[in-house]
Amino acid sequence: MTNSKNKEQATEAETTESAEVEASDSTEEVDAATDTVDQESSPADSSKKSGSSPLATTLAILALLGLIAIGGGGYHLMEQQQQQIEQQKKLLQEQITSTATQASSDQKDLQAKLEVVSLDLDANKGQFAAQKTALEKQKVIFEKQEQQFVEESKRVQARESELKTTLESVHRRIGRTGSQWMAAEAEYLIRVANHRLLLERDEKTALAALQAADGRLQATGDPLWTEVREALASEMSDVRALIQLDTIGKAAALGSLAKRVDKLRLIDSKAPEITVETKTTEPTDIIEVWNKAKKLLAQGWKGFQTLVIVRHHDAPITAMMPPEQRYFVYQNMRLQLEAARFAVLRADEGLYGSSLKTVSEWMNDVVELGDPVAKSMLNEINDLAKVNIRPELPDISGSLRLLREKMKVVAMGADAP
């Protein structure tokens, strides 16, 4: 807006200067014409004096009239330009006035908006200050509550410790008759668990005994046995991990192999040399031997071990296999697989490995391994031979030692006056 005003003022000044220049030029022309007329009149006068002609006088008059006409035209032109300048000045003044009015209105609007924004800002500042004050108050309250909570927690812990000490003292003073016999039952159950696990490798019975012992200690409600129960929990976890060995699955796999022995195709040119000895009888019929072996297996490992001894040679004897020996070979392979299955259930690693090794050697000697059934069975036997059926047993005697130590403390407290 300022630039447009400056341009209009510059235009007006230029117009005024041009009008003044033109008026000055017209005045100079009139003066020049007057001088010319004077100069011409002087010779005319002199010519009159000397007798000049009327033509010169006429020319002088015409020249004077022309100069007067030029001066009048210049004056008229100057008047028109002056009027135009006045009109432009008036128009420019109106524009300036309108612009000033608009600027004043805009300034008032802007001032009003600034006042509104200032009021909003002041209000927000007040709200922020109030919120800050409230937040500081809440912080102080929270810090006080936190301090109170810490102090209360300390008091609760101290009270809990006092109650525990008092409870143990009361138990010692009034005697631990009920707690003592329950602890004695727990001790017996833990000893049973150790016996079943270490001597019989009966993980399930051992776990049940440990769980029963923990239940007895829990029923006393005495905090003295807390450490013993923690030790029992750790030992029960170890026994559960031991039970994860799929003993039944391995025994079932061996039973399935024994049932599939008849599907094997034997090589007629080879037969293993097998000697069957008994300490109580020497049967001549192989069927009678097999029936007795099955009966002995059902009676238990101990009877089987004392009544039947199977011996085999590492090197097979090459000979033609008579038809009557096929049944003998099948029955003895079944017998070895049944012995391996019984060894799994008894965790007898020696019998398990030797039985599977014997079956594997017999299959390599007398069975056609090109048969898919024979290949599958031999692979299963080799995989089963790699299984550790007697993993290392965990030590579950720690809870027993700890329980006995606590029982001594109880006995000493009961005897004290």
Q: What is the pLDDT of residues 26-49, one digit of tens each?
A: 445 445 544 544 444 444 444 444
CA proximity to 357, closest of 326, 382, 376, 334: 382
Which are the contacts of 311, defined by CB distance < 8 A and separation ≥ 6? 274, 275, 277
Whether residue 184 sits in one domain with residue 114: no
Q: Could you tell me the sign of the dihedral formed by the alpha carbons of 114, 116, 121, 126, in that order?
A: positive
- Which tokens sit at 18? 């041009």
Range list of H helices, 260-322: 286-299, 301-307
Instruction: Output phi, psi for 284, to 5 deg.
Output: -100, -20
Q: Are strands 317-318 and 308-312 parallel, antiparallel or unpaired?
A: unpaired
Helix (H) or strand (E) holding 309: strand 308-312
pLDDT tens column, 260-283:
888 888 886 444 444 444 344 344
In a domain, 164, yes or no: no
Burial class (CB in 10 A: 0-12, 13-18, 19+), 261: buried
State the Cα–Cα distance between residues 289 and 277, nearest whole angstrom: 10
Whether residue 202 sits in one domain with residue 257: no
- Which tokens sit at 403? 């329980």
Whether residue 404 sits in one domain with residue 347: no
In a domain, 149, yes or no: no
In a domain, 115, yes or no: yes
- Which tokens sit at 192? 């049973």
In a domain, 168, yes or no: no
State the Cα–Cα distance between residues 214 and 208, nearest whole angstrom: 10
pLDDT tens column, 132-161:
888 888 888 888 888 888 888 888 888 888
Q: Which of 92, 108, 126 is the last residue of a domain?
A: 126
Whether residue 311 sits in one domain with residue 410: no
In a domain, 154, yes or no: no
Strand partners, 276: 310
Whether residue 41 sits in one domain with residue 114: yes
CA proximity to 24, closest of 88, 89, 90, 81: 81
Whether residue 87 sits in one domain with residue 46: yes
Burial class (CB in 10 A: 0-12, 13-18, 19+), 228: buried
Q: How many CB atoms lie within 10 A of CB 251?
A: 17
Buried b (16+ CB within 10 A) or exposed e, 182-218: bbebbbebbebbbebbeeebbbeebbbbbebbbebbe
The total of structural domains in the chain comes to 3
Instruction: Output phi, psi for 347, to 5 deg.
Output: 60, 35
Per-residue pLDDT, 313: 44
Whether residue 258 sits in one domain with residue 374: yes
In a domain, 216, yes or no: yes
Would you say 237 and 395 are in contact if contact means Cβ atoms under 8 Å apart?
no
Per-residue pLDDT, 228: 92
End-to-end CA distance of the chain: give it in Å, rounded.
113
Whether residue 292 sits in one domain with residue 375: yes
- Which tokens sit at 65? 């009239």
User: Which range, of 59-63, 129-133, 242-246, averages the lowest pLDDT?
Assistant: 242-246
Whether residue 379 sits in one domain with residue 254: yes
Would you say 362 and 333 are in contact if contact means Cβ atoms under 8 Å apart?
yes
State the Cα–Cα distance between residues 204 and 188, nearest whole angstrom: 17
Question: Which domain covers residue 40, as residue numbers?
Answer: 2-126
Give the confidence band of 319 by pLDDT, cuts at 50, 70, 90: very low
Q: What's this model's pTM, rounded to 2 decimal places?
A: 0.37
Would you say 254 and 344 are in contact if contact means Cβ atoms under 8 Å apart?
yes
Residue with more model confidence, 143 or 243:
143
Whether residue 367 sits in one domain with residue 294: yes
In a domain, 258, yes or no: yes
Whether residue 100 sits in one domain with residue 15: yes
In a domain, 58, yes or no: yes
pLDDT tens column, 48-83:
444 457 888 888 888 888 888 888 888 888 888 888
Write down the residue that tokens 């024994």 correspond to.
Answer: 258
State the Cα–Cα distance between residues 336 and 352, nearest whole angstrom: 9
